[in-house]
Amino acid sequence: MEEAQLRKFLNFKMNQSFIAHSPLVKLSVAEMNLVQLKDSLIWFSTSGTTQHRKWIGLSCESLIQSAEAVNQHLQVNSTDRWLNVLPLHHVGGVGVHVRGFISQTKVIDFSWCKWSVFQFVEQLRVHQISLTALVPTQIFDLVNAQIKAPTSVRAIIVGGGSLSSHLYRQARLLGWPLLPSFGMTECSSQVATANINSLSEVDSKESNLTKSTSSMPIYLPPLQLLSHMEVRTQGEKQQLWIRSPALLTCLAVYQNEKWDVCDPKVNGWYLSEDCAQVVQSQGCHFLIPLGRIQQQVKIMGELVLLQPLLNLVQQLAIPLGWLDKVELIFSSDLRKENKISLVVIGNKNHEGELAEGLKAQFNHQVLPYERIQDIFFVENFPRTDLGKTNQKQLRQQLGLEEVS
């Protein structure tokens, strides 16, 4: 009964459609008829070209299982109020509404409005919001505007990308109660999230749980595996397997004028494209994300992880005011297999000398095979709907070959 009620509720919220997609993306005729494949599912698109875009089918039961686990983790009660500013074509935005639906807590939806940090804070104050969800780009805007958090807000889930330790600290100093998280559409939202008790800590001390394998610690609260998740890792790259009642039902791809629909799970386990370490402490399991499997490559025979290196270069770029203006990318190299390049928003004539200095400072702190080889300058980074840099498009924009 609850699933039927939720489906009716989502049908209204998603404008009479169970196909969640960006309004900027034009659906093909076949995609508009996607719901006919499995009429009991909610469909979410993944990144990719129109011809080969993948669609993830989630059941209402999966969304409910995820929402219940998140509500439990956040200790949601009847006095809470959610504000949703995430788009409803992403599982993060839909997830907020499902959490409110099953806990009977009020959800104020502002996803239809263009993001404005000032309007967001005004909504928090007017509606006495206690819970919300944001992406790192939005946290950056809050910190950049130096706005303090309203006292009603008790927790903010931060997902949709990697949150830097510097940004986390700056936001916490302004009173924003951030809970970094790791999730994926295939799991109906969150997989692991910082514990609500981490907000009671006075300062952000280094934790043994958050030391990366590249000898560079990440000063963020550890991400606790949610109650409905089982995980294991595979191989040298520690690719993540997940088992959960919140997992997808199937994947669908339209090619050769027909739909290819499959259930990618193996005995209930789903092999994701993410890599992570799994750590146990005091009876709890924690996840240390290591990035997408495409963000781990071999350079001169050594396995190199992009995310901790990106954390370092962003940290070094802070004195230059470049926190959101630098990226690292892998590309193919004939001699070394792959190489690392620094990409800077700016102009070589104006920022070239500072970029060379940043490169030298970075290369002094990393292992020889982790050093930056080239510097590129661009006007802007291609970004996804949630503000993440689209690495594939950036590599294509620079004319670089795919990693090997």
pLDDT digits (tens, 9 = 90+) for 165-205: 888 989 999 999 999 999 999 999 999 999 999 998 644 44
Inside any domain, residue 404? no
Could you tell me if 169 and 215 lie in one domain? Answer: yes
CATH number, domain of 288, equals 3.40.50.12780
Inside any domain, residue 70? yes
- Cβ-contact 44, 91 below 8 angstroms: yes
Which of 235, 262, 292 is the last residue in one of the domains? 292
Inside any domain, residue 71? yes
- Cβ-contact 403, 334 below 8 angstroms: no
Could you tell me if 79 and 210 lie in one domain? Answer: yes
Q: pLDDT tens digits for 30-82? A: 666 666 666 678 888 875 434 456 889 999 999 999 999 999 999 999 999 99
Strand partners, 243: 230
Inside any domain, residue 163? yes
Angle ∠(303,304,310) on CA atoms, nearest 5 = 170
Could you tell me if 25 and 70 lie in one domain? Answer: yes
Strand partners, 279: 286
Q: What is the pLDDT of residue 213?
A: 41
CA 160 to mean position of chain CA atoms: 2
CATH number, domain of 389, equals 3.30.300.30
The sign of the CA dihedral 375, 380, 384, 387 is positive
- Cβ-contact 382, 390 below 8 angstroms: yes
Which has the closest alpha carbon to 160: 60, 82, 84, 86? 86
The CA-atom distances, in angstroms, between 118 and each of 106, 121, 125 are 22, 5, 11
Could you tell me if 325 and 246 lie in one domain? Answer: no
Inside any domain, residue 322? yes
Which of 292, 313, 337 is the last residue in one of the domains? 292
Could you tell me if 261 and 319 lie in one domain? Answer: no
- Beta-strand ranges (E) seen in 204-319 are 223-225, 230-234, 239-243, 250-255, 258-262, 270-281, 284-292, 296-299, 302-305
Could you tell me if 248 and 364 lie in one domain? Answer: no
Could you tell me if 238 and 374 lie in one domain? Answer: no
- Cβ-contact 145, 119 below 8 angstroms: no
Low-confidence stretches of the chain (pLDDT beneath 70): 1-3, 7-8, 11-39, 47-53, 201-219, 401-404
Structural domains of the chain, count: 2
- Cβ-contact 127, 53 below 8 angstroms: no
- Cα–Cα distance measured from residue 132 to residue 86, given in angstroms and rounded to the nearest whole number: 9
Helix (H, G, I), strand (E, B) or coil at 57: strand
Inside any domain, residue 348? yes
Neighbours of 326 (CB within 10 A): 21
Could you tell me if 251 and 308 lie in one domain? Answer: no
CA 218 to mean position of chain CA atoms: 17
Could you tell me if 148 and 7 lie in one domain? Answer: yes
- Say which residues have a Cβ less than 8 Å from residue 113's Cβ, sequence separation at least 6: 85, 119
- Cα–Cα distance measured from residue 316 to residue 321, given in angstroms and rounded to the nearest whole number: 10
Which of 292, 320, 348 is the last residue in one of the domains? 292
The domain in which residue 176 lies consists of 2-292
Helix (H, G, I), strand (E, B) or coil at 97: helix
Q: What is the pLDDT of residue 261?
A: 87
Inside any domain, residue 403? no
Inside any domain, residue 88? yes
Could you tell me if 324 and 382 lie in one domain? Answer: yes
pTM equals 0.80
One-letter identity of residue 210: T
Q: What is the pLDDT of residue 47?
A: 52
Could you tell me if 199 and 310 lie in one domain? Answer: no
Could you tell me if 276 and 310 lie in one domain? Answer: no
